[in-house]
Structure formats: C-alpha cells, structure tokens
Amino acid sequence: MSDATVRDQESSHKSLLHSLRRADIILIVGCLLAALVLTVFFALHRRTGSMVRISCDSVERFVIDLTNVGLSGQEMYYMICHTGKDEDNFSDSVEHTVYADQDVYIIYAEDYPTLPEGGSYNLISVADGKITMEAADCRDQICVHHKPIISERENIICLPHKLVVEIVDSGRKPGSERRKSMRSADADDELLDGVTR
C-alpha cells in the first residue's frame, strides 16, 4: 500500500470517531442495556405450561396433561392422522386411540410407531416436558425442523395439515375464550352517552 492510501484510511477512521458524538455513544450503550434487561426479564419470567393442546382446523381435538405424562424421561408418542383410519399401517406398539372423529384421529404409543404409508399424519413426542414434532408427511417439513417447545404459549404449527400444537397453563383460559368472556361482561354494562358505566 502506498503512503497516501494509509493516510486516507487513517483520516477516515479519525473522521468516523469524530462523527460519533457523546450522545450517539450514550444512545448505543442505552439500546444495548435495554436489550440485555429485556432478555434477562423474559428468561426469568418464562413459565412452563401444564397441558399440550392439539388443535386441527381451529378445533381443539385433544389435550395432553404434562403433569402425568412424559416427565419420567420415557417418550410418549401421539400420531395425528388426518384421513380414514387404517390399523394395518401402525406397529404392534400402538396402545390405543385417544381421539377419533370423522376426519382426524389420534393414537397414543409408548414406542416409536411405524409411520403410515398412505394418508396425512403428524407424529408428536412428549418427554421431560419437551414437545417435539418427530415426523410429518407435509412437503415443507417446517414443523419437523421446529425446535422443541417447553414453555407456555410456545407452539408448533403445521400449515398444510392445519395443525397447532401449543403449551398452555391449565388454570388459564385460551385467548379466544378470554376474549369471549370479556365481551359478554362488557355487554352487561350500560352504555350511556358513549361512556360505559
């Protein structure tokens, strides 16, 4: 490098340092501190849920109680099938069907089940309070690559199957039920001159 290039680089570094004023440095440090405080706050206030809600097509299909299952270290498997039931596609380890509807049924197994060759399915595992989407036959496999969920209000969503697996607290109402109860309570209030009293 020539001496002129080195001098130009040194002068550009000096001009950059001079262009950062004291207020800029305070702003940058303040933003970093705020990010650190928020990170610590959310890490400390993370709550573990006590139930796993499985919803398909916006309808709650099944609830798994985490206080009873999957805390012993042994994995429990729940196969959600979205088409007609074909018992031949499952292994002998299948314990029983825990939910059955005309378009969705859920099968519980203690061992990893044989995946069906036909039809649509999702396989969920529950172990030590972690919920993982083990397998699915959807094209994009986004739900399968999702990290395990462990805290309240975390969810795994499979868009092609319209499936939502979320961790909730048993003492709290789901969001839609909370909104409905709030609306019904507000409907009882009397509206006078545009003000609720």
Task: Report which of 116, 155, 161, 164 is spatially closest to residue 138, judged by C-alpha positions.
Answer: 161
CATH number at residue 76: 2.60.320.10
| 168 located within any domain | yes
Residues 64 and 117 placed together within one structural domain of the fold? yes
Residue 80 lies in a domain: yes
| Structural domain harbouring 27 | 3-44
Residues 117 and 146 placed together within one structural domain of the fold: yes
DSSP 88: G
Is the pTM higher than 0.85?
no
pLDDT string in tens for the chain (197-residue length)? 566 665 666 666 666 566 677 888 899 999 999 999 999 998 888 788 889 999 998 899 999 888 876 556 678 888 888 865 444 444 443 457 777 777 788 888 888 888 888 778 999 999 888 899 999 999 999 999 999 999 888 999 999 999 999 999 877 555 545 445 444 445 445 444 455 54
* Same domain as 35, residue 56: no
Task: Give the total number of structural domains in the chain.
Answer: 2
